[in-house]
Amino acid sequence: MASTTYTSDDTHVVAARTYSLQIECWGAGGSCDAEAGITAQAGAGGGGYAKETALVVSPGQSFTVTVGSGAVGQTGDSWFSTDSTVFAEGGDDGAIAGAGAGGNTNIGDVTQSGGTGGTIGTEGGGGGGEGADTGAGGNTGSNGSGTSGGAGGTGGGGGDGGAGGNTGVVGSAGSIVGGGGGGRGESAAGTAVGGRGQVVVTWTPVASRGGPLMA
């Protein structure tokens, strides 16, 4: 068995004697922007997860690999080949109006949704949602309370969400893979990016079309 982990856009070329691929995609977490705001900001959502267990391929075929970025203004979606083959949605950005949703429009045999960001307190920012992983969806970020920021979502297996900022403090960045950025506290200015996504391709070469390659 062999595998390749992609952390940025690339091309995957199918290896010799390989006729099936397992594909796993993680979307990036949403971000919270750098614009100064009088009002606190809710947390960003965590990235989703998708797995295709046996994609039929031929040796030498080339496939586009797209990996979501957690940076402000960049797409957080990750996919293999096309966005209708195997697809993991990135988390939504945090906003004053409401928390960012976790990535939940995912395509594959197995899918998990990212956690939603937390809402604002009186002045504290919401925590970022946790990224999804193979066995569980991401957990929701905690809401801000009064002047304190909420904790980021954690415990589900994906990248942790960033903590929301207290009054005058910027939220923390989301963790890799797929954690959403924490919302800023009131009157703070700065960026809390989301954790990037990734794509993992796994395969087993065969001696013939009848069975796996023997050592």
Per-residue burial over 6-18, b if 16 or more Cβ lie within 10 Å, else e, is beeeeebebbeeb
Please name the amino acid found at residue 177: V
Mean pLDDT of the chain: 93
Per-residue burial over 43-82, b if 16 or more Cβ lie within 10 Å, else e, is bbbbbbbbbbeebebeeeeebebbbbbbebeeebbbbbbe
The tens digit of pLDDT for each residue in 73-83 reads 788 999 999 99
Can you read off the two tokens belonging to residue 140?
């929701």
The tens digit of pLDDT for each residue in 168-197 reads 999 999 999 999 999 999 999 889 999 999
What pLDDT is recorded for position 36? 62
Residues whose CB is less than 8 angstroms from the CB of residue 215 and which lie 6 or more positions away in sequence, other chains included: none
- Residue 215: pLDDT band (50, 70, 90) is very low
Average pLDDT in the 39-48 region? Answer: 95
Average pLDDT in the 97-119 region? Answer: 95
N residues, the chain: 215
CA 162 to chain CA centroid, Å, is 13
